[in-house]
Amino acid sequence: MRLFAPLRRGLLAALLLAPALLSAQDRPLSLWERQARDLLKELVEINTTLTTGNSVTAAEAMAKHMRAAGFPSEDVVVVENAPRKGNLIVRFRGRNTARKPILLLSHIDVVEANPADWTLPPFQFIEKDGNFYGRGVADDKDEGAIHLTILLRMKAEGIVPDRDLIVALTADEEGGPANGVDWILKNRPELLAAEYALNEGGGGRVENGRRIANEVQASEKKVANFILETTNTGGHSSQPRPDNAIYQLAIALDRVGKYQFPVRLNAVTREYFRRQATISGGEVGRAMTRIVANEKDADAARLISRDPANNSRLRTSCVATMLEGGHAMNALPQRARATINCRILPDETTEQVRAQLARTIADTGVKILIERAAEDSPPSPLTPELLRTIEEASTELFPGIPVVPTMSTGATDGRFLRVAGIPVYGVSGLFYDTPNAHGMNERAEARAFYDGLEFMYRLVRKLSAGPGV
């Protein structure tokens, strides 16, 4: 059987790939669709995980294509900010150096993928039934391949943007010690200096197979971790006492679980709920309209909060995520600890949240420590001009689908840029159905990928066309 394996694999690959190209497409792929797919395939097949991957190899592989297409060597930079950590930064020179560049950002690293957990090989690009499979096809090698293809296409078409366009594929977004964006901003900030950046974090929302909204992320919540801890002299478990570290912690956790931070909207979430009201409709839609008019409307907040994602958009949230306590089955616990993970609204501080949690657990004998303070992440102003241009491109490709500004409840690398004064917008036009980024057999619909490519190409063209073009 071993002898036959390579042959069978080859045959299987041929069977999987050949019909898929026909069934995924009603027409043959365009030159640029093929280009983007080829870059995506190459990226996926280079392992860039934290533990066993190497993003320098991936950055170098992409750099080779850009140089071969005529981008001068000095404009195709690979930065190795740590061993095995590679970042690619390509600059496409524009005609007007007075205008600050636009940065197209994606990350080249991927979440771990243990082949034993997958039924498909994670580092092999497979196209089957109109889907791409492989680690990174939906997060975030798809966007890297799309951004690079936009530069290749504009150059081949002889289009000169009105300002520099920068494409950056960076390391360690998913975790790890050597975040590429952070490092470059600290050590070579000129490489990423831009008027604003387009990043992951936005994209199409699909429900029941229908496109619902093209979301533009303009803001994201911040992350902080707190430790609730209580200690006790302990003793023999045959002689319990009223004071007990585990019981005290349980009381404190119960209070944290019941506490709700107040509703606080900002410019982005107000616009989100205003537009989402029409999409949702019904009782919840009406509640959204009411909360925009009056954020103290508790009944509206209750209706909206039934959806955990919308609840998290309304307010700061804190939740217990880890628990430890005691040291022996027959001893009174000397210590009990819990981790509280908080997602903080952009304009609130770690200290405000700590103080609120401290008030919530007052008199329980449990103390609160900051394990990780939130990094600042100011919202990016969604200028009418930018929003209008995104809407224009979106209407061309996805007519009738509203563009909706959002605040992510998770965090991206955008936070480093925002703190450095570069506004960041998550926009991709990628309408993936049932996205499973970070999951097993990571998947992306080929059609959605090609539509996202065309959307981003048109958007970048419009944004860099300059006045009167």
Nearer to Zn ion, 137 or 256 (CB): 137
169/300 with CB nearer Zn ion? 169
Q: Which two tokens stand for residue 111?
A: 């979440």
CA distances from 17 to 120, 126, 236 (A): 14, 7, 67
CA distances from 388 to 101, 467, 468 (A): 19, 15, 16
In this complex, which beta carbon is closest to Zn ion, that of residue 161 or of residue 429? 429
Question: Which 130-149 positions form the footprint of Zn ion (CB under 5 A)?
Answer: 139-140
- DSSP state for residue 380 in the 8-state scheme: P
CB of 200 to Zn ion, least distance (A): 5
CB of 136 to Zn ion, least distance (A): 9
Closer to Zn ion by CB, 107 or 315: give it: 107
Name which of residues 62 to 121 contact Zn ion (CB under 5 A). Answer: none
User: According to CB under 5 A, which residues from 430 to 449 bind Zn ion?
Assistant: none
Q: 351: which DSSP letter?
A: H
Q: State in angstroms the smallest separation of the CB of 173 from Zn ion.
A: 6
Residue with tokens 């990016």: 380
**196-199/424-426 β-pairing:** parallel
Q: How far is the CB of 435 from Zn ion (least distance, A)?
A: 11
User: Under rule CB under 5 A, how many of the chain's residues touch Zn ion?
Assistant: 3
119 Ramachandran zone, left/alpha/beta (phi>0; psi -120 to 50): alpha
CB of 380 to Zn ion, least distance (A): 18
- Stretches 83-91, 177-185, 192-200, 276-284: which one binds Zn ion (CB under 5 A)? 192-200
Which positions from 196 through 225 interact with Zn ion, judged by CB under 5 A?
200
**Least Cβ distance, residue 138 to Zn ion (angstroms):** 9
Q: Which is nearer to Zn ion, 175 or 281 (CB)?
A: 175
User: Whole-angstrom Cα distance, residue 454 to residue 395?
Assistant: 12
Helix-strand-coil percent breakdown of the chain, rounded to 5?
A: 40, 20, 40
Contact, 50 vs 149, CB < 8 A?
no
If the CB atoms of residues 139 and 229 are measured against Zn ion, the closer one turns out to be 139
* Least distance (Å) between residue 302 CB and Zn ion: 33
**In this structure, what DSSP letter does residue 51 have?**
T
- Residue 203's DSSP bridge partners are 215
Q: Where are the alpha helices (DSSP H) in 262-349?
A: 267-280, 282-293, 298-304, 308-314
SS3 130: coil
Least distance in Å: CB of 75 to Zn ion? Answer: 25
Q: Between 49 and 464, whose beta carbon lies closer to Zn ion? A: 49
Which positions from 287 to 306 touch Zn ion by CB under 5 A, shown as an x/- string? --------------------
Which residue's CB is nearer to Zn ion, number 127 or number 140?
Answer: 140
Cα maximum dimension of the chain: 85
Site residues for Zn ion per CB under 5 A: 139-140, 200
